[in-house]
């Protein structure tokens, strides 16, 4: 099995004819992802990729004619909120929004709409997800993965790549790797993804990559202690040296006083029995200490 994406994924690429959409659609297709349609308003009737993927003017038409069930968005920030709404209103159940720099006020309006349709949004400003050996949706490099039973969820794209490569180099494979994005207002939380992993019979251990700002990691720690206390788990918190009040990287990575500090997050995770690494490269060793063996 897998979470979010897999062999059952029928992918719609919004913005498929743009530079980023074209490049990453090619990478996803090469990995084996089943791309069934693309959407670029005004370019309906064309085809994309060597697979001759049909391009439509609207998501509704694409879903009706191809049965697409998942969407990935490579639409610039001014149009991305409308692209999310168009996807879920057309019947798409899972949407990955790769676009960054979407205003938080725009996302405050979009999130309730997504929820009203019973859909799931991952992102914005996220790298997507890879179910190893099955499908990849987004911008995570396919070559760094190894099939296995460790589920990974992260707020950072680049740290995702670093940790996945470290796991692979250590012979520890992954089931699904998910980047939820670092914006302050996003569609899926750590807990949302951890709950999916907890229900996945092919995921036996977990990795969480967090950063300063907000309380998402503390909330995840409390959920972990209550729901999966016996699951081997390692974590890394980025931004230990960030001064209070200074934004570091992501829009959501800001601390104020004692709230959202690396110390509070590390303490919460350790209290829940999670091994917390001082650097990303330590995660394979910590998983090994928790009983995870190379595949």
Q: Is 250 a catalytic residue?
A: yes
| Nearest one of 93, 292, 107, 264 to 207, comparing CA atoms | 292
What does the alpha-carbon distance between residue 77 and residue 257 come to, in Å, rounded to a whole number? 31
Q: Give dist(CA 64, CA 68) in Å, integer.
A: 8
Contact (Cβ atoms closer than 8 angstroms) between residue 258 and residue 210: no
Q: What are φ and ψ of residue 170, in 5° steps?
A: -85, 0
DSSP 8-state secondary structure symbol assigned to residue 254:
-
**Structure-block tokens of residue 174:** 């992954």
Long-range contacts from 251-254, C-beta under 8 angstroms, 24+ separation: 251/104, 251/125, 251/182, 251/183, 251/184, 252/155, 252/182, 252/183, 252/184, 252/186, 252/211, 252/213, 252/214, 253/182, 253/211, 253/212, 253/213, 254/212, 254/213
Residue 210 three-state SS: strand
Catalytic residue among 24, 29, 145, 250: 250
- CB contact at 8 A, 119 and 146: no
Place of tokens 């800001």: 254
Running DSSP on this structure, what letter comes out for residue 243? P
DSSP 8-state class, residue 189: -
Q: What angle do CA 14, 20, 24 make, to 5 degrees?
A: 80
Q: Which residues are catalytic?
A: 250
């Amino acid at each position: 099995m897998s979470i979010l994406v897999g062999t059952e994924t029928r992918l719609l690429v919004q913005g498929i004819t743009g530079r980023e959409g074209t490049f990453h659609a090619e990478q996803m297709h090469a990995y084996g992802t089943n791309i069934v349609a693309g959407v670029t308003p005004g370019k309906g009737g064309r085809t994309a990729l060597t697979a001759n993927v049909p391009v439509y003017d609207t998501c509704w038409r694409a879903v009706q004619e191809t049965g697409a069930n998942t969407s990935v968005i490579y639409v610039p920030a001014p149009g991305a909120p409308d692209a999310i709404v168009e996807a879920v209103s057309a019947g798409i159940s899972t949407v990955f929004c790769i676009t960054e720099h979407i205003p938080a006020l725009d996302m405050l309006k979009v999130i309730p709409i997504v929820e009203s349709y019973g859909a799931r949004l991952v992102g914005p400003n996220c790298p997507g997800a890879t179910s190893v050996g099955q499908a990849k949706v987004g911008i995570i490099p396919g070559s760094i993965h190894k099939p296995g039973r460790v589920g990974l969820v992260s707020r950072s794209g680049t740290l995702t790549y670093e940790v996945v490569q470290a796991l692979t180099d250590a012979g520890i494979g992954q089931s699904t790797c998910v980047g939820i994005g670092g914006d302050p207002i996003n569609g899926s939380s750590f807990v949302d993804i951890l709950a999916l992993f907890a229900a996945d019979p092919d995921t036996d251990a977990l990795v969480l990559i967090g950063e300063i700002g907000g309380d998402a990691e503390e909330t995840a720690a409390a959920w972990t202690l209550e729901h999966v206390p016996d699951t081997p788990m390692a974590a890394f918190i980025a931004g230990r040296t960030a001064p209070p009040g200074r934004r570091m990287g992501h829009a959501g990575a800001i601390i104020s006083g004692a709230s959202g500090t690396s110390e509070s997050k590390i303490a919460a995770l350790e209290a829940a029995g999670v091994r917390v690494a001082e650097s990303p490269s330590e995660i394979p060793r910590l998983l090994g200490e928790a009983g995870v063996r190379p595949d």
